[in-house]
Amino acid sequence: MVKSIVGRDIEPYAKYTVDIDGWDGIVTADEETNGRGLTVKIDENYAVTDWHLGELHSLREILPAGYSAFLTEDDCYRSDLTILKTSDPYDILRVRDTYGWDVQHRLYNSEDLTGVLTEWQKECCLNIVGADYHNVKLIMGTLPNDLVAFAEKVNFLCCELDQIYDFIDYGDGTNEGRQAGARAVAEKLAAHLRETRRLYLWWD
């Protein structure tokens, strides 16, 4: 059934981690998450395009209750469709061990990020379309009433936003300048979200 939709090879899901001790590049499988679903290799490019979202939507349409599909990346940064036996959309963050840090360098693990996204859901409708250890990909079904204020929260959580969207504005170096720069970034992000409805959180 799945193969008829995507027309590609299907593999048992396995999350791989890279042992960077000494940068030897040894890739090992994570036994705790192996066997929890299926992986479909779809593309050499990990960017989220309309085509990737179309493949994901087609797959989600045919999955039975209790299963969910997401966009993920393999150890070579190629796009996969990952199918998990879960109805919890936040499970992809737990399975992928997603983490990040805010502008004050506080570390957020997958449970912390789940809590933040749950709070954001009170302001707008967020659809998690993908996640990996260092990013979360979301589609906004609805927008918050105060989109700029929401964008400021996003910018606080994900201090790499200016690298993703090219919204860099450091101000004049003073506290007032930095605050003005952060406000400018939030306004540009708000305009981007209003136009695209796509939110990509990325930490590096």
Segment 31-44, tens digit of pLDDT: 444 556 777 777 66
Q: What is the pLDDT of residue 59?
A: 85
Confidence at 182, pLDDT banded by 50, 70, 90: confident
State pLDDT tens for residues 71-81: 988 666 677 88
Cα distance between residue 12 and residue 39, in whole Å: 6
Per the DSSP assignment, residues forming a β-bridge with 68 are 84
Write the pLDDT tens digit of every residue in 145-168.
999 999 999 989 987 665 555 555
Residue with tokens 């030897």: 24
Mean pLDDT of 57-70: 88
Q: What's the average model confidence in pLDDT over 35-55?
A: 73
48 CB-near residues (< 8 Å, 6+ apart): 71, 129, 130, 137, 198, 200
C-alpha–C-alpha distance, residues 50 and 199, integer Å: 14
Residue range 105-118: average pLDDT? 96
**Rounded average pLDDT over 118-123:** 97
Extract the runs of DSSP E, i.e. beta strands, from the chain: 10-12, 16-19, 26-29, 37-43, 68-73, 79-84, 100-101, 107-108, 126-132, 135-140, 198-202
Q: Which of 4, 14, 35, 36 is nearest to 80 (CA)?
A: 14
Structure tokens belonging to residue 193: 């979200």
* Stretch 124-131: mean pLDDT: 96
The tens digit of pLDDT for each residue in 133-145 reads 889 999 999 999 9
Q: Would you say 107 and 159 are in contact if contact means Cβ atoms under 8 Å apart?
A: no
Give the chain's mean pLDDT. Answer: 79
Question: Given a cut of 60, is residue 107 above it in pLDDT?
Answer: yes
The domain locations on the chain are 1-87, 89-204
Q: What percent of the chain has pLDDT over 70?
A: 67
Q: Residue 7's pLDDT is what?
A: 56
Question: 130: which strand partners?
Answer: 71, 137
Which among 37, 42, 30, 94 has a CA at the least distance from the CA of 67? 37
**Cα 11 to Cα 34, 35, 91, distances in angstroms:** 11, 10, 19
